[in-house]
Amino acid sequence: SKLKYIEIGGLFPMNGTTGWLGGQGCLPAAMMALEDVNNNENLLSGYYLNITWNNSQCDPGLSSAVLYDLIYTPPNKTLILGGCSIVCSTIAETAKMYNLIVIGYGSSSPALSDRKRFPTFFRTHPSATIHNPTRVKLFKKFKWTRIAIIIEAEEVFVTTGKDLEIKCKEADIEIVTRVSFLDDPTEAVKSLARQDARIIVAMAYGGAARKMMCEAYKNGLYGKQHVWFLIGWYEDNWFHPSTGINCTMDEMMAVVEKHFTTEALMLNQGPEITIAGMTAKDWLHEYQKQLPKYKEWFPHGEKPQEGFQEAPLAYDAIWAVAFALNRSIARLDELGMSLDDFDYEKKEITDIIKSELQRVQFLGVSGDVAFNDIGDRISWTLIEQMINGTYQTLGFYDTATDNLTWYDREQWYISGRVPKDRTEIVPTL
């Protein structure tokens, strides 16, 4: 029997000059998921799930044009997949006018949690605020109640920093100072030193973090009396000196030694069989094996990246859509309707798909896939420490259940001596 098509739209940042170009890793993963979904006879039987995608270049202007093209070029799209935060906020604001749901597979901005602005937005990529309950959990574990914050002045870090301050206040943890910088961190780092900051949370992109840590070296903000919390998703050698960094490799190695990192966990760690019919680690091998076959899709011959950790989020996004549409078809059937009736006007169809997305729950390759009541991804975080120049896994944290899995591997300059969060006032006899 002839299969009926369900069309979804997709924007993937494949190349371009700014922002995150994770489309190179996420498009192949989404295609793998489409193949798996369409080969699964228990799901969407009688239907073929198809995607029409275009390159967003992580550019909001281009993405608006791409979105309109997807909307006004038949057949009607049932929903849209989006990547970069800046693209998702642009298209999700517009998409709601067309009763279109947007699923973000690569969007970390806390601003996207605003259900008033983005009532039809869901994401399999956790918000950057996912770091904060983990940070507070560790502050409590090491009995630090005096914290400093330094931020690169980018929207995602400003909003995440505000959320961290709220979480710290709720936990009776004092923010002794919060400083930010646009491009040159010199003054901000000097201010940390003046305030005798000891436990420092830094939010910045990798390049700015490199400059910031070199300044930290020059101000002596490292060693046995200081602990830095950095972001865990930088490229591997982010701290190696480059042009414009006036610190040597040894100085950079000294200043980053023993720092902590937090990041959202994007690959299931356990031996469980995931929705892909294999463990997440086996899926990753399969994914990397399949990457080369997608190379003809890259507009200017870029080669499919192996390094995008977000690929599982795109794979799972397609499965989340498939489960939600599968249940929606059954409910629409009872109403004598079908997905084919969707014409950007029928809000009742969108509401059904939205309520089914809200209920999605499965073990994806990125871990348990479920959305909270504002469409945000619930996920674990990974905690690492730089020990002798390489990152070691210290543990994992599940915010939802306040469950910290800890391996007791953390190391301090004076073994066994956790650094203090302030100068010890030793009472004079």
Ligand X SMILES: CC1(C)CO[C@@H](CC(=O)O)CN1
For binding to ligand X (CB under 6 A), which residues are involved?
20, 22, 84-85, 106-109, 233, 310
**Pairing between β-strand 174-181 and β-strand 146-152 as defined by DSSP bridges:** parallel
Residue (10 or 258) nearer to ligand X, CB: 10
Shortest reach from residue 123's CB to ligand X, in Å: 9
Residue (208 or 332) nearer to ligand X, CB: 208
Residue (76 or 85) nearer to ligand X, CB: 85
Shortest reach from residue 53's CB to ligand X, in Å: 17
Shortest reach from residue 332's CB to ligand X, in Å: 33
Residue (48 or 233) nearer to ligand X, CB: 233
Residue (6 or 103) nearer to ligand X, CB: 103
- Of 94, 76, 66, 85, the closest CA to residue 10 belongs to 66
> 146: which 2 tokens?
């005096």
User: Could you tell me which residues are beta bridge partners of residue 50?
Assistant: 7
> 113: which 2 tokens?
């949690």
- Residues found in the chain: 429
Shortest reach from residue 326's CB to ligand X, in Å: 28
Q: What are 339-343's contacts with CB under 8 Å, separation 24+?
A: 339/6, 339/47, 339/78, 340/4, 342/76, 342/78, 342/99, 343/76
Shortest reach from residue 232's CB to ligand X, in Å: 9
Shortest reach from residue 24's CB to ligand X, in Å: 12
**Pairing between β-strand 4-12 and β-strand 79-82 as defined by DSSP bridges:** parallel
Residue (311 or 360) nearer to ligand X, CB: 311
Provide the residue type at 199 as one letter.
I
Shortest reach from residue 233's CB to ligand X, in Å: 4
Distance CA(400)–CA(377), nearest Å, equals: 11
Residue (85 or 177) nearer to ligand X, CB: 85
Using an 8 Å Cβ cutoff, are 326 and 333 in contact? no
Residue (88 or 247) nearer to ligand X, CB: 88
Give me the sign of the Cα torsion angle 279, 280, 285, 289: positive
> 133: which 2 tokens?
């309950």
> 357: which 2 tokens?
């997305």
Using an 8 Å Cβ cutoff, are 353 and 264 in contact? no
> 370: which 2 tokens?
């479920």
Shortest reach from residue 20's CB to ligand X, in Å: 4
